[in-house]
């Protein structure tokens, strides 16, 4: 199995030790999650490009309406998280 040496700031190292966290497993999960996040971003960029090619770019009004919807969704999810 290939090996990798990782350096952590003192603060993170102390947290790992204090909470007896499994550093290797956490790093593996973090790498998998980041790789998946990047794959999803790439796919969403492709999807948006296809939509723009099919229906054109959104107008300023449409973008403003979308921003309002996003703000409402974020606010609602934050309220539920409490």
- pTM comes to 0.68
Rounded Cα–Cα distance for residues 28 and 33 (Å): 9
What's the pLDDT tens digit per position in 5-34? Answer: 999 999 999 999 999 999 999 999 999 999
Rounded Cα–Cα distance for residues 65 and 26 (Å): 39
Confidence of residue 2 (pLDDT cuts 50, 70, 90): confident
Torsions phi, psi for 41 (to 5 deg): -65, -45
What's the pLDDT tens digit per position in 25-80? Answer: 999 999 999 999 999 999 999 999 999 999 999 999 999 999 999 999 999 988 88
| CB under 8 A, 24+ apart: contacts of 28-36 | none
Tokens 């790992």 found at: 16
């Amino acid at each position: 199995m290939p090996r990798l040496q990782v350096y952590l700031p003192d603060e993170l190292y102390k947290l790992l030790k204090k909470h007896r966290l499994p550093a290797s497993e956490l790093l593996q999960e973090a790498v998998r999650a980041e790789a998946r996040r990047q794959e999803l971003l790439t796919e969403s960029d492709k999807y948006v490009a296809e939509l723009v090619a099919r229906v054109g770019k959104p107008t300023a009004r449409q973008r403003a309406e979308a921003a309002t919807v996003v703000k409402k969704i974020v606010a609602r999810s934050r309220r539920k998280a409490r």
